[in-house]
Chains A and B, each alone.
Chain A
Amino acid sequence: MNIVVCVKYVPDSTADQAFESDNTVDRVGVPGLLSELDEYAVEQALQLKEKNEAPESVTVTALSVGPASAADAIRKALQMGADQGVHVVDDAIAGSDALATSKVLAAAVTKIGDVDVVVCGMASTDGGMSVVPAMLAERLDLPQITFASVIESQGNQFRIKRDGDTATEVIGAVAPLVLSVTDQTGEARYPSFKGIMAAKKKPLETYSLADLEVDAGSVGLSAAWTAVENTEARPPRTAGTIVTDEDGSGAKALTEFLASKKFI
């Protein structure tokens, strides 16, 4: 079985995020890391391997599309236990939207070849849209089983639990398929010392757009199908009123505030 886990390198969401002058996300000035939500995807990919009858026959490939520094995200996945890495890096990719990103990812999955399960996170932590997994499924013509909170599989039969918008659903599909996982699937493992050492010897291949036969003119900022016109830091919220409760004064002030804003 071949499993590809899509991992994104994102600006640290706890750092101050910013935009560049061309309105693309600042990916240089802000320290980056493996998107926290993709750690859950790596964990589930590894569990699929470990639960397989013949784990040694299963290959987990960590795939990332991003700048040179995105190799860090792949390395983290290798340290956690993925077998090999594929990094698509090309200057033309900078500024790609989800449509272009999914196109490049789909081409990479096709090049890796014979893939049974593509595992994604539920969203990128950098303003993710939670659309890349659905777009990947569309482009690869595979079933999507997305937003999984529980995953069960037997051979190539998969069942997931999905907390839908208005209902909890059980979704079934047969591999090959695209799976996306939520943080409800359970804690992701930390790389062990052994894992960190082993990762140094694991293969990490780099592809350019030419290697994937993707037209460089069809991706990147200039080819994006949406244009950001303006980005603006939200004006600092005017400092709110903060009261300290003493002998019931807090509740009274709270009620007054609600009434003044016509919420009562």
Chain B
Amino acid sequence: MTPAPPAALYSDVIRERWRRPRFRGELPDATAVAEDVNPLCGDRVRMMLRVEDGQVAAARFAGDSCAICTASADVVAETVEGKTAAEATKLTTEDVLTILQTDVRPTRLRCVALPLTVLQQALQP
């Protein structure tokens, strides 16, 4: 029995962001940094933000994570750039899923949520 080739598991946006994340990298002049892990799998994400006058001037992420988590981190970094810190903390898992053009199973929701949790930790006053 030959297995059927796997259909695309993840949305095009997730696959594209996983292959070529635009916001992965270091931010040496970051003013707000946080890092956390997903206790389910040990994935680790660090968010680095440069906040100037209450505005997120730049955002980058680093870490070792699965495709969904990496894509989420990339989207989170892109979305918060240019926003005020207050606006940035309002970003939700639903928003990220919409941008990723996907729905995930409950077991993978934490992969989407981890970068948001880390973002909120970084922006905690």
Bound pair: A and B?
A: no
Instruction: List chain A positions with a Cβ less than 8 A from chain B.
Output: none
Instruction: List chain B positions with a Cβ less than 8 A from chain A.
Output: none
